[in-house]
Amino acid sequence: MKFTLKIWRQQGPDDKGRFVTYQAHEVSPDMSFLEMLDSVNQGLIVKGEEPVAFEHDCREGICGSCSLVINGVPHGPERGIATCQLYMRRFSDGATITIEPWRARAFPIIKDLVVDRRALDRVMQAGGYISVNTGGAVDGNVVLIGKDQAETAMDAASCIGCGACVAACKNASAMLFVAAKVSHLASLPQGKPERTRRVTAMMEAMDREGFGACGNQYECEAVCPKSISVRFIATLNREYLRAGVVESGAPTVPEAPHAESD
Amino acid sequence: MASGETAVSSCKNRGMMRLFNHFQTSLDSKVVVALTGLGLAGFVVFHMLGNLQVFEGAEALNSYAAFLRDMPILLWTTRLGLLSIVALHIGLAIQLTLHNRRARPVAYAVREYRKASLASRTMAVTGSVLLLFIVFHLLHLTAGVVDTSFPDRLDLQGHRDVYGKVVHAFRNPLFVALYLAGQFVLGLHLSHAVSSSLQTLGFEHAALNRLFKAAGPVIALLVVLGNMAIILAVFLGVVRT
Ligand code: HEM
Ligand code: FES
């Protein structure tokens, strides 16, 4: 197969950037999208040109590193997969494919197709954790959790933090990401003690990082490689409203069982 | 760890602050936009139902209008209430829209939407056109300054002849076209807005999600059909003086 690729090239954060057109020849339909880019890069290296920078690690849909907007859709035309799980047989021979980076103010471009997604880490640091005392590991099944509850938590926890939800959202909102994290922790007993503080802190962090607000358009769910449901956004909204009521009514908020102190 | 402190930092008064001082996060604004929007949606539904009395004749509509106007306290509380709801809704919606635009300074060269409906992507546009339409509508049928060819007059019971005014208005193809366009824009705005508000307010339940999703389009359709029935019935001569 052969393809015409229109790829976003940008030297660094301050470069203006532009599209450059490349030809990909002798592409096997069984190549993954990233392997196809690898072969294009081989060609560039042979010619003494700068290869296209793109992010990848596991190449099996679990790490959340790969991040390409392919023909206007984050992670490309297939549903429920990451870019690394996309195969060239999905495209018709001779097609022109446009490849862009995630675009959001919170995700500044580092180079070409690689963006800085540390904003998501900072949102996590604001509250996406549980505080536990270290010591001997707790025995399994000490805290019994119903199957439905465990399934719900697992559905939310399947988020790999790739940021496709932000890339797809018209408002570049990280709402589905925050919703997945908040819902995952709030649906388990271990996450309950800090739920009030967590949801407020994470929402504040999301704004602070420059993500937009949710428009309930659900484009995020449609591109999520883990198909995380937007019903978790409703859960997040409920958690947030609950926190508003609890915080405004309560004379004191209990301190964390183990506040991070260093 | 600094970020740990952010989460742990005293949030004793945060809720109070949030309720009384200012809106802390974009989600607070969204909740207020949703609540005021639902309030306006409720108004639009009752407005349509009330106006359907045009089909019962001049007497019914005029005495209904008189009933609404005859209680100055109620009239002005409602008017001021609606005005402040509209102001909150528009003010926060504009703020949110600007916040959202800033979040993506560089647009995609190619963009394909899978799920985001046209209505959901044009809320700011339909909202702004709706504002223009509402101002026009108030100047036209409430204040009566747009079309002075129909004088304010009383009917046989001594009520203001609202019926005559409505019939006069919708005989004119220009007004019919403007009002139908207004209905189209209102329908678009409402069809996304109502379901979206329910999501913003956290309504979500496995058994009821389809109902919540359908609420917007269904309410939008009912409002638009009801209003269009009035406009077209007059225009086609079904309702006449
Ligand atoms: C009859 C009049 C109106 C009704 C019934 C109405 C209703 C609503 C509702 C229920 C929402 C949903 C909020 C949400 O997404 O959670 C909404 C959103 C919105 N409205 Fe209105 N609205 C009206 C007039 C206006 C006007 C006059 C404007 C603007 C000038 C406006 C601008 C917006 C915008 C921009 C949003 C989206 C806000 C967001 O991104 O969350 N609306 N409206
Ligand atoms: S490279 Fe790990 S998810 Fe794609």
| Contact residues on chain B for A238, CB-CB shorter than 8 A | 202, 204
User: Between residues B120 and B10, which one has the greater pLDDT?
Assistant: B120
What is the average per-residue pLDDT within A53-64? Answer: 97
The minimal CB distance from B3 to the residues A126, A230, A256 is found for A126
Name the H helices within chain A: 33-46, 118-127, 147-157, 164-168, 175-186, 195-208, 219-223, 231-249
- Predicted confidence band at A260 (pLDDT cuts at 50, 70, 90)? very low
Mean pLDDT score across all residues of chain B: 90
B122 close contact with A: CB closer than 8 A: no
Give the pLDDT confidence score for residue A252 in this predicted structure: 47
- How far is Cα A29 from Cα A22, in angstroms, rounded to an integer? 18
Q: What is the pLDDT of residue B23?
A: 59
pLDDT at B14: 57
The pLDDT, as a whole number, for residue B158 is 83
CA distance B239 to chain A (A): 41
What is the domain extent for residue B185?
33-235
CATH number, domain of B143, equals 1.20.1300.10
The minimum CA-CA distance between A131 and chain B, rounded to whole Å, is 10
- Does the pLDDT at position A155 exceed 50? yes
Residue B240 lies in a domain: no
Given a cut of 70, is residue A113 above it in pLDDT?
Answer: yes
**What would the pLDDT profile of B145-154 be if each residue is shown by its tens digit?**
888 887 777 8
Report yes or no: B109 at the A interface, CB cutoff 8 Å.
Answer: yes
pLDDT of the residue at A141? 86
Residue B113 has pLDDT above 60, yes or no: yes
Share of chain B above pLDDT 90, in %: 77
Determine which of A18-22, A175-179, B22-26 has the lowest per-residue pLDDT on average: B22-26
Residue of B nearest to A237 (CA): B202
Domain A118-261 in CATH: superfamily? Answer: Alpha-helical ferredoxin (1.10.1060.10)
Is B201 contained in some domain? yes
pLDDT in tens, B72-83: 888 999 999 999
Strand-strand pairing, A109-111 and A96-100? unpaired
Q: Which two tokens stand for residue B194?
A: 């109502």
What's the CA gap between B129 and B182, in Å, rounded?
A: 8
Write the DSSP symbol of residue B18: I
Work out the mean pLDDT of chain A and round it to a whole number. 93
Residue B143 has pLDDT above 60, yes or no: yes
To the nearest whole percent, how much of chain A has pLDDT over 90? 88
All structural domains of chain A with their residue ranges: 3-111, 118-261
All residues at 6 or more sequence positions from B212 whose CB lies less than 8 Å from its CB, including other chains: B195, B198, B199, B203, B204
The CATH number that domain A3-111 falls under is 3.10.20.30
Interface mutation vs chain B, best among A247, A252, A261, most B CBs within 10 Å:
A247
The share of chain A scoring above pLDDT 70, in percent, equals 94
A249 — pLDDT class (breaks 50, 70, 90): low
Touching A: B residues 136-195, CB under 8 Å: 192, 195
Number of domains in chain B: 1
- pLDDT, tens digit (0-9, with 9 covering 90-100), for B169-192: 999 999 999 999 999 999 999 999
Q: How does B160-199 read in b/e, with b if 16+ C-beta sit within 10 Å?
A: ebbbbbbbbbbeeeebbebbeebbebbbbbbbbbbbbbbb
3-state SS string for B103-164: CCCCCCCCCCCCCCCHHHHCHHHHHHHHHHHHHHHHHHHHCCCCCCCCCCCECCCCCECHHH
pLDDT at position B228 over 60: yes
